[in-house]
Amino acid sequence: MLRVIFFAIIIFLGLSGGSAWAQEGTNAANVLGAPISDIATAPSHQEGFPLWAYGYITPPTAPEDWREMCVGSRPRECDRPGGMPRDTSGTLLRVEGSDLAFTQTEITAPYAPADWFPQDHPPMPDVVAHGIEEIEMRACAICHLPNGQGLMQNAPVAGLPVDYFLRQLEEMASGARQTSDHHKANGFEMAAMARALSPEQAMEIAEYYGSIPFKPWVRVIESDTVPKFTASRNGLLMKVEGDETEPLGNRLIELPEDTYNTNNLRNPRSGMVAYTPIGSLARGREIVETGGGVSVACAACHGADLRGTAIAPPIAGRQPSYIGRQLYDFQQGNRNGIMAPLMIPTVQNLSPDDLLALAAYVASLSP
Ligand code: HEC
Ligand code: HEC
């Protein structure tokens, strides 16, 4: 444990002396001697791949390789078509608590998605609200929402430290951080956006999202069953109509509290509910607090309440699907940036069940 904290401090001092941007291309394994090179890059959807965390019920029947399909300079080339709900009737829609009304087309407008609650956040930087249409870069708000709460298929970005946020953009741009799912188009669109942003734009957006506190967003429930659900084309799992349930099995299933509010209206005040196997929260707590014989206690770096420190970002209360994907991406060596070696002792011995338990417990904490 002391060794780990020592390494954390060394890395932190190293980074704070210069800019993280300047460290691009540095192989962190050389600095730390961590066994990164032992971890082979995973083929998509291999045995042990947590389908639930990437928003699948079964692996895609025609997996696409977006590493090859998304190489141009226009981020939207990586947008898998047909992901957004369609309704061109022009009917004005509303969400509870907002005085505004938008059509479905306005709600999902790529370069000006609806902002239901402008009073919930400071004025959005231009790229958050509009993207950059000339290069077909969609607004950050269309995926991460204007308030940064994010959906299970992308990421919660509210309340992240500015230096952490900038480092992630840098590492997604360089390829040091990649999703393990080559079929995950939005992960590759994200990387293309990171490549297209200027340092000034990146800084303005990092400060914007960083200034908004992340709000409670996920209710975690232990259960044997889960409401019957379906999967969208881009990794959002959604309850289907009716009261039918199905066995949960060894999965954590995260669903919108209200499918229509999340998927159609994109209501940034309507959160998620996650069903997790009975006993998983206690196991997750044990690992978080003691390492549980397979990991390292998280508080040393992420802080007592897992609300973040100068070394590691806040993780408490964030989407369990997102947390599960990150743990798996670190484990597979696909999230391999300058600070990733600090996470290797945490993830390298996790079984799929332990990974699930960690995601469930961390998500159940108050952000
Ligand atoms: C097409 C949807 C989409 C858009 C638009 C989008 N992102 Fe993302 N973003 C993602 C996905 C997907 C991830 C990664 C999820 C994963 O790793 O599983 C992500 C992750 C991130 C992260 C990492 C968060 C963390 O905790 O490490 C940052 C930072 C980020 N995005 C910033 C931005 C910024 C800035 C913009 C606008 C310029 C933007 N995103 C626009 C989909 C999107
Ligand atoms: C030795 C320090 C250290 C320990 C111990 C540690 N972490 Fe981390 N963790 C980090 C650092 C540093 C990062 C950011 C890595 C990067 O920049 O890519 C991180 C990132 C993460 C992320 C990704 C966050 C995001 O927004 O994408 C998750 C999830 C995470 N850690 C979970 C855990 C859990 C769960 C534990 C305990 C079981 C744990 N960590 C223990 C240092 C640590």
What are residue 231's DSSP bridge partners?
237
The pLDDT assigned to 73 comes to 79
Distance CA 348, CA 328 (A): 9
Averaged pLDDT for residues 171-182: 96
Distance CA 238, CA 55 (A): 10
Handedness of CA 57, 217, 325, 151 (dihedral sign): positive
What global pTM score does this model have? 0.91
Ligand 1 atom 23, closest CA: 168
CA of 35 to the centre of ligand 1 (A): 28
Distance CA 22, CA 12 (A): 14
CA of 47 to the centre of ligand 1 (A): 26
3-state secondary structure of 179: coil
Inter-CA distances, 339 with 168, 272, 274, Å: 10, 29, 29
3-state secondary structure of 58: coil
User: Which pLDDT tens digit goes with each residue over 40-73?
Assistant: 344 578 889 999 999 999 998 888 889 888 887 7
User: Which pLDDT tens digit goes with each residue over 204-224?
Assistant: 999 999 999 999 999 999 999
Residue 78 has pLDDT above 60, yes or no: yes
Q: Where are the domains of the chain?
A: 2-215+281-364
Is residue 103 within 8 A of residue 84, CB to CB? The reply is no
Pairing of strands 218-222, 272-276: parallel
Is the C-beta atom of 171 inside 6 A of ligand 1?
no
Which residue has 């904290």 as its token pair? 5
Residues with CB under 6 A from ligand 2: 4, 8, 167, 287-288, 295-296, 298, 300-302, 311-313, 315, 323, 326-327, 335, 337, 339-340, 342-343, 346, 358, 362
Distance CA 292, CA 127 (A): 43
User: Which pLDDT tens digit goes with each residue over 113-147?
Assistant: 999 999 999 999 999 999 999 999 999 999 999 99
The 8-class DSSP code of residue 22 comes to G
As given in the structure block, the two tokens for residue 92 are 């004005």
Backbone angles phi, psi at 300, to 5 degrees: -55, -35
Q: Which amino acid is at 282?
A: A
